[in-house]
């Protein structure tokens, strides 16, 4: 699949691909990129329909099927694989947050990867996405689209940032007003939100091929979007994987504790260096 994805590339070393969550874009990784760029060739990608990337296209016969397919994590992963092929990037490390974690798992089934770091990944539910998740995301989307101006004013204040971003971030008072405004704008303007939410609402991640690369999984201790018992079923992941905890972090922990997130990714990559990928 040909790719027209927007991305930012920095640093040097082994390639590392960063994949963001639904309603966000590659800038959600900005807090950790400077640290990671000291060790990796960091490629932060805007998934199709988010940030500066156009929505994925589908050749399905039915327009309804096409709409569902274009937002599915497998389709998004195909676009990322196309970008990596165009860039000549082989066997990268991959880290994904939320939707990006699900896309990372799909990418690992399509393209050789060195390691996979899952940070509060979506898709680990038994059937479809829990109603609580869907309502929460739809509410965030509605507010970001229809109340962007008052929210952008509100986040000038610490309490305002708690109210606006407390569901997704574990330490919202530490966020800058600029970061908060950019997060609200990203959620309100991304054209791929509806298609992706629809494509992930009725099903979860299902393994289609073994993942032989090292996989690490972590949830923020303050993640109140992906609840225990609803969204943390690990049966589709490679055997033996246990979830770690990122203390005092929320669903999007890169801004909550950049050092802990960078350390997690670096540690996963180090495991790959010690145990080469079996092909």
Give tens-digit pLDDT for 178-198.
Answer: 999 999 999 999 999 999 999
Up-side HSE of residue 174: CA atoms within 13 Å toward CB? Answer: 13
pLDDT of residue 3: 58
For 96, list phi and psi in degrees, rounded to 5: -135, 140
Rounded Cα distance, 265 and 87, in Å: 22
pTM for the model stands at: 0.93
Q: Which CATH architecture has domain 7-274?
A: 3-Layer(aba) Sandwich (3.40)
Q: Which of 41, 48, 50, 47 is nearest to 17 (CA)?
A: 41
Domain boundaries, the chain: 7-274
Tell me the C-alpha distance between 50 and 46, whole Å. 6
Neighbours of 162 (CB within 10 A): 17
Q: pLDDT tens for the chain, 279 residues: list them.
A: 445 899 999 999 999 999 999 999 999 999 999 999 999 999 999 999 999 999 876 543 344 455 557 899 999 999 999 999 999 999 999 999 999 999 999 999 999 999 999 999 999 999 889 999 999 999 999 999 999 999 999 999 999 999 999 999 999 999 999 999 999 999 999 999 999 999 999 889 999 889 999 999 999 999 999 999 999 999 999 998 989 999 999 999 999 999 999 999 999 999 887 765 444
The helix or strand, by DSSP H or E, that contains position 274, with its residue range, turns out to be: helix 258-274
Q: How far is CA 131 from CA 102, 185, 202, 227, in A?
A: 18, 24, 10, 12
Longest distance between any two alpha carbons in the chain, whole Å:
53
Q: How far apart are CA 77 and CA 278, in angstroms?
A: 21
């Amino acid at each position: 699949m040909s790719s027209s994805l927007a991305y930012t590339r920095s640093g040097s070393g082994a390639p590392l691909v960063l994949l963001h969550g639904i309603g966000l874009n590659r800038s959600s990784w900005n807090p950790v990129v400077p640290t990671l760029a000291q060790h990796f060739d960091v490629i932060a990608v805007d998934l199709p329909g988010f940030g500066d990337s156009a929505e994925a296209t589908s050749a399905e016969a039915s327009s309804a099927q096409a709409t569902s397919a274009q937002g599915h994590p497998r389709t998004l992963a195909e676009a990322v694989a196309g970008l990596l092929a165009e860039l000549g990037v082989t066997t990268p490390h991959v880290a994904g947050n939320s939707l990006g974690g699900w896309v990372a798992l799909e990418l690992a089934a399509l393209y050789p990867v060195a390691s996979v770091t899952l940070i509060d990944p979506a898709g680990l539910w038994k059937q479809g996405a829990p109603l609580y998740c869907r309502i929460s995301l739809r509410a965030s989307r509605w507010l970001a689209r229809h109340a962007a101006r008052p929210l952008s004013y509100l986040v000038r204040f610490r309490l305002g940032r708690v109210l606006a971003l407390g569901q997704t971030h574990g330490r919202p008072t530490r966020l800058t007003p600029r970061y908060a405004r950019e997060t609200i704008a990203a959620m309100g303007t991304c054209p791929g939100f509806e298609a992706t939410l629809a494509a992930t609402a009725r099903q979860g991640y299902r393994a289609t091929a073994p993942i032989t690369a090292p996989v690490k999984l972590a949830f923020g201790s303050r993640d109140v979007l992906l609840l225990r018992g609803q969204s943390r079923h690990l049966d589709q992941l490679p055997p033996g994987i246990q979830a770690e905890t990122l203390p005092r972090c929320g669903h999007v922990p890169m801004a909550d504790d950049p050092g802990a997130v960078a350390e997690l990714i670096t540690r996963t990559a180090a495991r790959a260096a010690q145990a080469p990928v079996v092909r």
